[in-house]
Amino acid sequence: MGSHGYNYKSSPGEASCSPSEGKSKRSRILCILPCTVSQLMSATPHQDAFFIKGIEINQVSVVGVIRRTKPSVAHVVYTLDDMTGPPVDVKQWMNLEDVNMNSCVIPPGTYIKLVGSLRSFQHRRSLVAFSIRRVEDLNEVTSHMLEVVQAHLLNDGSSCSMMKNKSMTSAIMSLSNARESTSYGFTANQSQVFNLIKSCPLAEGISVQSLRTTLKYLSLYDLRASLQFLINEGHIFSTVDEDHFKSTY
């Protein structure tokens, strides 16, 4: 984690910057900015760059679980899911002269931390990985989320301390829910639907319309299929009508 004065300590083997006081906000960015997939998907494009809250992003670090692996002759495409939104494709170029190239391919179900850059081709965003390593301790997933919160709060100088605490608490709870639902054996879609239902404080629960508004990338069919699975498994139940749902715990 970073310390006071906007010094960010990266993981071993990763570069970092320690900007000095008084520089412009744009220059006060991390060489490697911790991010979530949802932040990258919602980043604002401008010319050949992407911006988050007015800050240009260069290299980013992301932690998540591999859902699919697709190797080819010169590269591997991983589908990475960090539970904050729809999965993103990650391309890693491989050394064609490496006779053990197949042994370097990481299988689905593995948590990884990558450093790379965000790219867009034909309006489809993806990541090009400069380095990928396996996450051996799941505490590192929590640590990464805290780094994300800290880095982006430090970029936003207008945030008051109360909002900082609230955002950090919210991020920790979100990550905790994501890891908990993963342990139930949910798919990514089921996990995201369940977490939204569980986090709703309303007595009548959350409506299907609210779920569709938040999970815009899910089709109505996928949403209904996830709801039916969660009902059948006893994780949620309908409340005032067939379109409102609440968690059983």
Residues 184-237: tens digit of each pLDDT: 667 888 888 988 898 888 888 999 999 988 888 888 888 999 999 888 888 899
Sign, CA torsion 84/1/167/235: positive
Cα Rg of the chain, angstroms = 19
Long-range contact list for 93-97, CB < 8 A, 24+ apart?
A: 93/128
pLDDT value at 99 more than 80: no
Do 48 and 58 meet the contact criterion of CB atoms below 8 Å apart?
A: no
Share of the chain above pLDDT 90, in %: 26
Cα separation, 153 vs 158, in Å, equals 9
Cα separation, 115 vs 126, in Å, equals 13
Do 178 and 195 meet the contact criterion of CB atoms below 8 Å apart?
A: yes
The predicted structure's pLDDT at residue 104? 79
Domains (range + CATH), the chain: 1-183 (2.40.50.140), 185-249 (1.10.10.10)
Structure tokens given for 201? 């404080």
Structure tokens given for 129? 């990985």
Cα separation, 211 vs 158, in Å, equals 31
pLDDT value at 80 more than 70: yes
Structure tokens given for 71? 């190797």
The predicted structure's pLDDT at residue 187? 81
The predicted structure's pLDDT at residue 60? 92
Task: Please provide the average confidence, as pLDDT, over all residues in the chain.
Answer: 77
Strands 32-34, 44-46: pairing kind = unpaired
Do 112 and 98 meet the contact criterion of CB atoms below 8 Å apart?
A: no
Backbone phi, psi, residue 124, to 5°: -115, 120
Backbone phi, psi, residue 18, to 5°: -130, 80
**96 or 155: which leads in pLDDT:** 155
